[in-house]
């Protein structure tokens, strides 16, 4: 992994390194289609479109991408593309780009990787994915939705069972109530773990990047209104009263999360 810098000016970096170069670094070969480039997304098999001549409205720089899949679309700038493909945060993506290209984007410090680095939350080998899925499935099967710790959160057993929420008695994150974290396709990736008696109250596994999850997004139905709640427990409680809610897993919403949320609203035709 690249050594992290103290500060990177995103605009300066994007003016120095074009989105096509960033895309080739993250995806390898690109197929040129008119003024754009296309490549398969290694995350879910969808198609990524890279448009070097389209302005990114947030800061006026050139270059945007859009990833199309059966689960919906999401997009952003070149840094967002690297973050999306590698399943990392924007700052870490910028660090990788700056380290890879150095001060002169025409002379990379190392050859562009053809595949993503191994990372559990990104795109690990099928064997690793199957192993992780089996472990998570075993944990989910052992959770107790009727436990008093769940009831203390004002979440009834039926609602907890529907959401896959339950108390874990032992092992890693034992003695906490676990809330399932799923990607936009509804695939279980880990758990957010809560205890009012332990510090910190909320814990996440090391393989989970909180910036890449909107809790409750997989349960949103088409149409209607979405409420942004404070915690996963609030999201689940809201469902008991017929409200659709989601929450972010970071203290402040990042630009990438704003893009994910906007994509969710568009995909589900919802308001907030």
Where in the chain are the domains?
10-101, 126-268
* Strand stretches in 163-248, DSSP E: 166-168, 176-182, 188-194, 202-203, 214-215, 226-228, 244-248
pTM of the model: 0.56
C-beta of residue 97 within 8 angstroms of C-beta of residue 105? no
Does domain 10-101 correspond to CATH entry 3.90.580.10?
A: yes
> What sign for the dihedral angle of Cα 190, 196, 199, 201?
positive
Predicted local confidence at residue 71, as pLDDT: 56
Predicted local confidence at residue 117, as pLDDT: 29
Please check the confidence at residue 138 and state whether its pLDDT lies above 90. yes
H/E segment holding residue 72 = strand 72-76
Confidence label for 166 from pLDDT (cuts 50, 70 and 90): very high
263 Cα distance to chain centroid: 12
Domain 126-268: which CATH number of 3.60.70, 1.10.3470, 1.10.286, 3.90.980: 3.90.980
Predicted local confidence at residue 170, as pLDDT: 86
Indicate the SS3 state at residue 250: coil
Please check the confidence at residue 104 and state whether its pLDDT lies above 70. no
Residue bearing the bigger pLDDT, 243 or 263: 243
Which are the contacts of 113, defined by CB distance < 8 A and separation ≥ 6? 25, 28
């Amino acid at each position: 992994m690249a050594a992290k810098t103290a500060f990177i000016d995103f605009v300066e970096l994007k003016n120095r390194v074009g989105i096509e170069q960033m895309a080739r670094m993250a995806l390898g070969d690109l197929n040129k289609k008119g003024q754009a480039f296309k490549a398969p997304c290694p995350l879910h098999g969808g198609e990524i479109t890279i448009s070097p001549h389209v302005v990114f409205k947030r800061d006026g720089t050139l270059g945007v991408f859009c990833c199309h899949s059966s689960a919906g679309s999401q997009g952003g700038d070149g840094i967002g593309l690297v973050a999306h493909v590698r399943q990392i945060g924007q700052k870490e993506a910028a660090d990788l780009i700056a380290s890879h290209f150095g001060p002169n984007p025409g002379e990379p410090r190392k050859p562009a990787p053809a595949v993503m680095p191994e990372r559990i939350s990104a795109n690990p080998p099928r064997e690793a994915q199957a192993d992780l899925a089996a472990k998570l499935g075993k944990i989910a099967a052992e959770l107790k939705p009727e436990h008093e710790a769940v009831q203390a959160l004002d979440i009834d057993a039926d609602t907890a069972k529907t959401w896959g929420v339950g108390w874990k008695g032992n092992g890693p994150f034992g003695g906490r109530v676990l809330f399932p974290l799923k990607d936009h396709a509804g695939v279980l990736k880990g758990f957010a773990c809560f205890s009012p008696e332990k510090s910190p109250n909320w814990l996440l596994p090391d393989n989970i990047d909180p910036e890449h999850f909107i809790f409750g997004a997989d349960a949103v139905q088409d149409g209607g209104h979405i409420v942004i709640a404070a915690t996963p427990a609030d999201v689940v409680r809201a469902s008991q009263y017929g409200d659709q809610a989601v929450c972010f897993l970071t203290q402040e919403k990042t630009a990438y999360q704003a893009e994910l949320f906007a994509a969710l609203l568009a995909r589900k035709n919802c308001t907030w």
